[in-house]
Structure 1
């Protein structure tokens, strides 16, 4: 299942290499490349219904999210050959980001792990759901016709910083409610989003719980100072950040939108449920489940 536009055309190159490697090793491969996401999802669901041995998503986190909608709660395993910009699901399951042949070999090796998923209504996600400053930046960037590429997001971030404000959230964690002023609320099934930012560094993808990170930074300067700590996950030690664990999260804030797996999910309010073992993933040797430093 390929997104030909992933990584500015990298998806096609990665798909070609993956298919060639699988066929070289004797695997029967059927390719899925719909003209629209809906058409691709219909083809993927049809393949799952008719008994495919595995669904391989060749693309970024957005395509992985689309593939999840076909395989969640089935016995069909999901594999990934990363070709996008974020590739946080690939990080989670230990797939090399720049080696399509190695990604194909992980499919052949057939190392299976059960993975929890987050569910919002009837839609699934695997990594992180977020709402706040980051979703405001994405919403603004998506509405801009110029410029294109990464600079669009940099400009959108500067514009949102110029009108920085905290957001009044109602947060409910496993039935316990509170009203808070926050900059960002994230719900992590996995630890990272946005291309390796460890926003929920303690998240474990098979423990039946989300890690919830709440950033309360109350000024532009405090938010900017916090930003460099996100990739290492050390922000959770700062006084502006608090963390929680819960199996069910409800979020509400006026005018806010939730993004998950890099995709626009839904306006708030939203209920997010952790569903244990909702999908089987084919993993590499550095998957979350095999890391010596995995949180306990």
Structure 2
């Protein structure tokens, strides 16, 4: 059982979902006999400072949030061999929790702090910035921007809404992608570097990606038309879109990406870089309590 827990809460996560769950989470931690200290974060930088302080004090760092705060805390604890994280889902998508078998109910997830086992997981790196899920760009850049500006009451539906809104103004781009000696230039929609399987509230963009293999699954998406894109969208939730001729998956520890026009790279729901970028996998960079 953890010695003590530093609970970091993003008050705005999931449209306030994390904050609404907080009283029940604190009550459950007390019931489980876990000494804990709660802090509401004011920014990702603030959260990173709190995470380092908690680790220095020998506390397990638990996040009650969405994937954005998880990625920020992972960046703060990355490379600290004694640091230990725990995940209490409190966002709209909670894809990192889902990929690791953590209950999507925050109160139920508290039990993992007692019965879970530490596991070394990879993180992704975009020119020095850390993410835990999927870094993507192109069509995804516009869809992520729209999702972040959408009203909080939409919940997980926001990702489908954002994709359909982005569709109206999208025009394909030419991407230059290099994974090891495999160098490709193609006209398409999206390039994604996946450390984990899912994003966007359960979209299995990279269904075979693993969090402990030291590699990225690089997904290249090039539908022939808007109609083809719309038809393929439901398949992403099952991961069967990778069987289509319009989708290519490459694998390697590093990918270099450029395009014929500027794009913001998003990861874990937040902007993380601007093209051109180098994305790489960092093996075993964090230790996370996961269900036994």
Q: TM over 0.5, yes or no?
A: yes
Aligned to 1:294: none
State how far apart, in whole Å, the 2-side matches of 1:163 and 1:35 are.
34
Match of 1:282 in 2: 289
Deviation at 1:226, TM superposition (A): 0.9
Which of 51, 59, 66 is matched with 1:44 structurally? 51
Aligned CA-pair RMSD: 2.0
CA deviation vs aligned residue, 1:7-62 (integer Å, no higher than 9, x gap): 2222123232222222222222111213333223222221112222x110001111
SS of aligned partner of 2:186? strand
**Greater per-residue strand proportion:** 2
Residue pair 1:169, 1:182 contacting (<8 A) in 2 also: yes
Please say if residues 188 and 203 of structure 1, whose CA atoms lie closer than 8 Å, have aligned partners that are also in contact: yes
State the aligned residue count.
Answer: 281
Do the aligned residues in 2 keep the contact of 1:93 with 1:281 (CA within 8 Å)?
no
TM-score scaled to structure 2, two decimals?
0.89
Q: Which runs of 4+ in 1 moved over 6 A?
A: 151-155
Unaligned runs of 5+ in 2: 1-7
Which whole-Å deviations, capped at 9, do the CAs of 1:120-171 have from their partners, x for residues lacking one? 22211111111121211223455x6x87753876665445323332111110
Q: Are the counterparts in 2 of residues 115 and 278 from structure 1 also a CA contact under 8 Å?
A: yes
Encode CA deviations 1:218-249: one digit per residue, 9 max, x unaligned.
Answer: 21111111111000000001111111111001
Gaps of 5+ in 1: 286-296
Residue equivalent to 2:74:
68
Residue 218 (1) aligns with residue 232 (2): no
User: Does 1:31 find its partner at 2:42?
Assistant: no
Distance in 1 between residues matched to 2:25 and 2:234, nearest whole Å: 35
Q: What is the distance in 1 between the residues matched to 2:202 and 2:84?
A: 24
Say if 2:62 is the partner of 1:56: yes
Aligned residues of 2:126 and 2:277 also touching (Cα < 8 A) = yes
